[in-house]
Amino acid sequence: MPLFGKSQKTPAELVRSLKEAINALETGGDRKAEKAQEDVSKNLVSIKNMLYGSSDSEPPADYVVAQLSQELYNSNLLLLLIQNLHRIDFEGKKHVALIFNNVLRRQIGTRSPTVEYICTKPEILFTLMAGYEDAHPEIALNSGTMLRECARYEALAKIMLHSEEFFKFFRYVEVSTFDIASDAFSTFKELLTRHKLLCAEFLEANYDRFFTQHYQRLLNSENYVTRRQSLKLLGELLLDRHNFTVMTRYISEPENLKLMMNMLKEKSRNIQFEAFHVFKVFVANPNKPKPILDILLRNQSKLVDFLTNFHTDRSEDEQFNDEKAYLIKQIKELKPLPEA
């Protein structure tokens, strides 16, 4: 025990007293809750400093971190913290996220013990995802930072993608508060793009529900930012070679082509430009199904005129101009399929 200054609590003591304080916060009356809040903050700061090392002290010793993590798993404290996040004060919420994200990245050789632990306790992930619900807007962004760290691990991303909760993101990304909606969109995007094979598999298996039922709505959103972000993400998803099967299916559906053609002539130039990058895939497809070909043929001359005058001021963007020239050439040369 040090002669001067406060004595250091051991990891086990810290975890125990934090757990007690959280329980008091959950159940206590006003006076009691105030005291509990204080205890929660104090213990969170101590744990955070133990993990990160305070700026003037040495980085933490491995055995302390190991001990602390073990205590956190055994006591089920991570879930308890997340479930009570809305009860913890402003700075405390951020400390919870810092602690969570640090423990999450812990490695022993090639193993990630915290990731393995969360796999056995998926309600941790589902509770975090529910952080975007309207009930407690003050925890949305904290939950978001933890979710995005989780999404970096394939095993955790898989649990989230394949859960019923995932489809709630289509609602979260459209909530009226911009900062929460855009945080939810970042998480949504991370889940859909981080682990290529996992995502491709998911999109193939859930094509109808994902694209036809839900994504369509984002593309038609009243909200300019939602429309632009989701259009851009659509382009990224379709142009990723892992998603070839999904792309092939998407560009064979006439409704999708119609939507992109309408977006090409939207008022906002940024939307037009993003739509161009999806539209080009329909045209470049060497095996266009008849309904797609028919639409392109019906609009052949309109499309050629339109594209010729499309974003002519982007003269320095070589790739764009090459692609545009290629599309115009392709459309000019379109011929109806020979009658069978």
Partner 1 sequence: MFGCNPLDYDLKVELSRCFNGIGTVYLAQYLPNGQHIAVKKYRMDKASKEESILARDELLIMRQFSHPNIHTFHTSFVYGNELFQIAPLMCFGSCKDTIANCFRAGFPEIFVALIMRDVLSGLEYLHRRGYVHRSIRASHILLNQTKAVLAGFRECTSIVGHGERIASLHHLAPCSARSLNWLAPEVLEQNIIGYTEKSDIYSIGITCCELANGVEPFADAQPTFMFTEKVRGNVPTLLDRSTCPASEEMIEIVASTDSDSIRQAQQIYCQRVFSDEFHQFTEICMEKKPSSRWSALQLLSHSFFKQCRHTSILDQLQRFGLETKDYSQIRDESLVLCSDLSEMNVHSNDWSWDF
Positions touching partner 1 (CB under 8 A) are 52-53, 90-91, 94, 98, 100-105, 141, 149, 152, 176-179, 182-183, 223-226, 228, 232, 254, 258, 261-262, 265-271, 295, 298-299, 302
For the bound state, the minimum distance from the C-beta of residue 271 to partner 1, rounded and expressed in Å, comes to 8
User: Are 204 and 246 a contacting pair, CB within 8 Å?
Assistant: yes
For the bound state, the minimum distance from the C-beta of residue 248 to partner 1, rounded and expressed in Å, comes to 22
In the bound state with partner 1, the residue whose beta carbon lies nearer, of 94 and 121, is 94
Tokens 């602690």 found at: 99
In the bound state with partner 1, the residue whose beta carbon lies nearer, of 200 and 293, is 293
Q: Is the dihedral of CA 60, 61, 62, 65 positive or negative?
A: negative
In the bound state with partner 1, the residue whose beta carbon lies nearer, of 245 and 270, is 270
In the bound state with partner 1, the residue whose beta carbon lies nearer, of 139 and 246, is 139
For the bound state, the minimum distance from the C-beta of residue 88 to partner 1, rounded and expressed in Å, comes to 13
Q: In 281-308, which positions are buried (b, 16+ CB within 10 angstroms) versus exposed (e)?
A: bbbebeebeeebbebbbeeeeebeeebe
User: Are 84 and 25 a contacting pair, CB within 8 Å?
Assistant: yes
Which of 121, 1, 94 lies closest to 40, judged by CA?
94
In the bound state with partner 1, the residue whose beta carbon lies nearer, of 202 and 279, is 279
For the bound state, the minimum distance from the C-beta of residue 66 to partner 1, rounded and expressed in Å, comes to 16
**Beta bridge pairs of residue 108:** 111
Q: Largest Cα–Cα distance in the chain?
A: 95
Q: How many CB atoms lie within 10 A of CB 3?
A: 5
For the bound state, the minimum distance from the C-beta of residue 214 to partner 1, rounded and expressed in Å, comes to 20
Tokens of 74: 């055994």
In the bound state with partner 1, the residue whose beta carbon lies nearer, of 196 and 258, is 258
For the bound state, the minimum distance from the C-beta of residue 300 to partner 1, rounded and expressed in Å, comes to 10
CA R_g for the chain: 26
For the bound state, the minimum distance from the C-beta of residue 198 to partner 1, rounded and expressed in Å, comes to 20
Which of 75, 57, 59, 55 lies closest to 67, judged by CA?
75
In the bound state with partner 1, the residue whose beta carbon lies nearer, of 162 and 306, is 306
For the bound state, the minimum distance from the C-beta of residue 106 to partner 1, rounded and expressed in Å, comes to 9
In the bound state with partner 1, the residue whose beta carbon lies nearer, of 196 and 269, is 269
Tokens 């955070």 found at: 48
Rounded to whole angstroms, the Cα distance separating 266 from 274 reads: 11
- SS3 state of residue 136: coil
Q: Is the dihedral of CA 72, 76, 77, 78 positive or negative?
A: positive
Residues 6+ apart with CB under 8 A from 203: 192, 210, 211, 237, 243, 246
